[in-house]
Amino acid sequence: MRKIIIISFVFTSLCSWSQNQKENDSISSDTVQNIKYSYKQLIIPGVLIGYGFWGIESGQIKSFNHQIREEITENIDRKFSVDDFSRYVPALSVYTLNAFGVKGKNNIRDRSVILGTSLIIMTGTVFALKSITKAERPDGTSNDSFPSGHTAVAFAGAEFLYQEYKHQSIWYGVAGYAVAAGTGIFRMYNNRHWLTDVAAGAGIGILSTKVAYWMNPYLTRKLFGNKENNSTSFLAPTYDGKNFAVNYIKTF
């Protein structure tokens, strides 16, 4: 299967931002350092990833996968491609909310580095596991079913939205996770993934963002030192099961 490399350049100007947004940009990266390290944060993603791997070898879990598939796809006349777009909604919501004056936890530079780091970790992990496991998709079209890349992107964004806006309202995170869960359900509805693929993808997405937050203080010091800078750029690779894309994003 041929992989298509797409390089896209996104330039966003912050010159005309409102006073509220400027105040938000003045928040230092010290806020990220308030993220606490706790093994409890690994429980949920660990369980999801573990269940996904368990399903690769367990006949009982495989049987359950087929039962879920039959129930979800029963009497389906058409497919809906909403999952191709909904996977990006949680992450994009962070920037949309900020544009409308709802302050997130971190400034534009730090949150962009965090998102870029998360996507790099997530995409690398998903791509590697697809190449190693070679699990067949439910519709039999290819052998790159495990884990679900769409679901991983959606849950990475949902955790990103939760971390940035949980101090404003927990409902932002709830909404993000609802969209991410819907993305996973539609991947099964469209007969593209098994339940275990979706579970593992969700765990990888959540864990990737958590790791990105833990790494950010170190990356910020290495990339920018201790000086505040309104300009930043990063590479954000994505993989949708067929095509691999590398997005170069620059804010100034």
- DSSP H stretches of helix in 26-58: 43-57
Q: Is the pTM of this model over 0.85?
A: no
CATH code of the region 5-13+79-251: 1.20.144
Indicate the range of 2-16, 25-39, 51-65, 234-248 predicted with least confidence.
Answer: 2-16
Q: How confident is the model at residue 11 (pLDDT cuts 50, 70, 90)?
A: very low
What amino acid is encoded at 34 in this protein? N
Q: How confident is the model at residue 151 (pLDDT cuts 50, 70, 90)?
A: very high
Q: In what order do the strands lie in the sheet with 5-12?
A: 5-12, 244-251, 232-239
Q: How confident is the model at residue 76 (pLDDT cuts 50, 70, 90)?
A: low
Q: What are the structural domain ranges in the chain?
A: 5-13+79-251
- Reading the block at residue 27, the tokens are 């928040």
Report phi then psi at 58, rounded to 5. -80, 120
Instruction: For the chain, give the mean pLDDT.
Output: 82
Rg (CA), the chain: 19
Report phi then psi at 94, rounded to 5. -60, -45
Helix-strand-coil split of the chain, %, nearest 5: 60, 10, 30
Other CB atoms within 10 A of residue 221 CB = 11
